[in-house]
Structure 1
Amino acid sequence: MGGLNRPPILVATRSAHKLREIRGLLADLPVRLLGPEDLGLPEHDEEDDLEPFDTFARNALSKAKYFHRRSGLPALADDSGLCVDALGGGPGVRTRRFAPPDRVARWGRDEANNRWLLERLEGVGKDRRGAHYRCAVALTDDLRHEVVEGIVRGRIARRPGGSGGFGYDPLFVPEGHDRSYAQLPAVVKTATSHRAQAIRRARGWIEREVLRNRGGE
């Protein structure tokens, strides 16, 4: 089936990393996964306020509904984050905005967040550095919505390692491994990550609500 005949789904993210990862995970489905830029949707200030809730699921659904309203297309959105045992589950839904603004201005968001996390865990022993990544994926169209989740457990390393991935990947060592996601081959993250798990669980909704109802094959 030609690409133009594939039903479109809007992936509600401005992150090129995330859009590329989701496209790879769903590459075998006969759909077109589009980002806001592909539709010419300008970025609005109100997008900064789409994640006011205290759970990943509610934040993901908030984003999906917002971008569905703007585009008229079925929308897929995720909210994900790092939950560290020694921080009482933090940064959690504050994962992206964890570091103080002055540090973000100085080092950029990812490096500032990683530095801030290591500072907060200074002196914390290996047995208390347990953590997990959690991802909620929300899907919505005119009538229905669904939220699915994925979790990967691991621990926070004492120092960053590797240059792959993004976010906290240089610090997160997944269970069963002794290297960070940023050090491991990309295929390992694709197979085990929280987002990969959640996106796989979203396939049923896409097949049922998008392909079946919109004539995809």
Structure 2
Amino acid sequence: MLKVHKSKVLVSLMQYCFMDIVFATNNRHKVDEAQAILGADFSLTTPKDLKLFEEIPETANTLQGNAFMKAQFIWERFHIACFADDTGLEVEALNGAPGVYSARYAGEEHDPKANTEKLLKALAGKKNRTARFRTVVALIIDGDTFYFEGILNGKISEVPSGNGGFGYDPVFIPEGYDKTLAELTPEEKNSISHRGHSLRQLSKFLNNHVS
């Protein structure tokens, strides 16, 4: 866990654990995945649930910066416990690209299919297809910020395969597997995924502070 701004968080955590916590995203896939990972101890609320329909900013040049920016966007408006995440696909042969720009790799439309097509074209003819997913979660409680990071190593496939998941899942083969994330069951994916690792750290942190 990466941590900053350590201060008195116990009382606030007791108010929020086993209750609603705001996930600063309106991506239904991410919300469902996070809820499955966090389990029944937490009920996730989204900005839309709070009648907040403004676009959530993510214009930082790092994953940590984006995660903080999104969480802070909620905190400044509601002053309630909230968290946000940002994920990047880092491809070795592309010097870490698309990285922080993964969601908009092919343009501001955030089109997963176009992003994947651009990635495969960029890797055409390259033998080194090593890659990793990296997720950073930012949690804000009483103005204090805590960070959690998850990494999943693997490689990029030659062609998309599978109908599950979202984003780059159809072309990412996790280390130790012979199929893509999109070919795994949700339970299999969540048990190994970068987002799963970071959210389990978040869950452990919250539970440890109310035990």
Identity value in percent: 37
Give the letter for the 1:81 counterpart.
G
Q: Quote the residue 2:5 is aligned against.
A: none
The 3 A distance-change label for structure 1 pair 190 and 6 is: closer
Q: Quote the residue 2:177 is aligned against.
A: 177
Give the letter for the 1:98 counterpart.
Y
Q: Quote the residue 2:28 is aligned against.
A: 16
Displacement of 1:203: 1.4
Secondary structure of 2:71 counterpart: helix
- Structure with bigger RCO (C-alpha 8 Å, 6+ apart): 2
Give the letter for the 1:116 counterpart.
K
Is 1:122 the counterpart of 2:124? The answer is yes
The 3 A distance-change label for structure 1 pair 74 and 208 is: farther
Give the letter for the 2:158 counterpart.
R
Displacement of 1:206: 2.3
Is 1:26 the counterpart of 2:33? The answer is no
Give the letter for the 2:111 counterpart.
R
The 3 A distance-change label for structure 1 pair 6 and 176 is: closer
Give the letter for the 2:48 counterpart.
E
Separation of aligned partners in 2, 1:10 and 1:25: 15
Separation of aligned partners in 1, 2:80 and 2:206: 12
Displacement of 1:119: 0.6
Moved over 6 A (4+): none
Please report the TM-score for the alignment, with normalisation by the length of structure 1.
0.84
* Deviations, residues 100-138 of structure 1 (Å, cap 9, x unaligned): 45xx5xxx701100101011111111xx10000000001
Give the letter for the 1:197 counterpart.
H
Is 1:73 the counterpart of 2:80? The answer is yes
Alignment of 1:100-111 (within 5 A): 100=107, 109-111=111-113
Secondary structure of 2:150 counterpart: strand
Q: Quote the residue 2:51 is aligned against.
A: 40
Give the letter for the 2:166 counterpart.
F
Q: Quote the residue 1:199 is aligned against.
A: 199
Displacement of 1:208: 5.1
Give the letter for the 2:58 counterpart.
E
8 Å contact kept, 1:172–1:180: yes
Displacement of 1:6: 4.9
Give the letter for the 1:87 counterpart.
L
Q: Quote the residue 2:136 is aligned against.
A: 136
Displacement of 1:196: 0.1
Separation of aligned partners in 1, 2:80 and 2:35: 17
Separation of aligned partners in 1, 2:200 and 2:18: 19
8 Å contact kept, 1:82–1:134: yes
The alignment's C-alpha RMSD in Å is 1.8
Displacement of 1:142: 1.6
Q: How many residues align?
A: 195
Please report the TM-score for the alignment, with normalisation by the length of structure 2.
0.86
Hey, which of these two has a bigger chunk of helix by percent? 1
Separation of aligned partners in 2, 1:68 and 1:205: 19
* Deviations, residues 114-173 of structure 1 (Å, cap 9, x unaligned): 101011111111xx1000000000100223210010000000000000111000000000
Secondary structure of 1:167 counterpart: coil
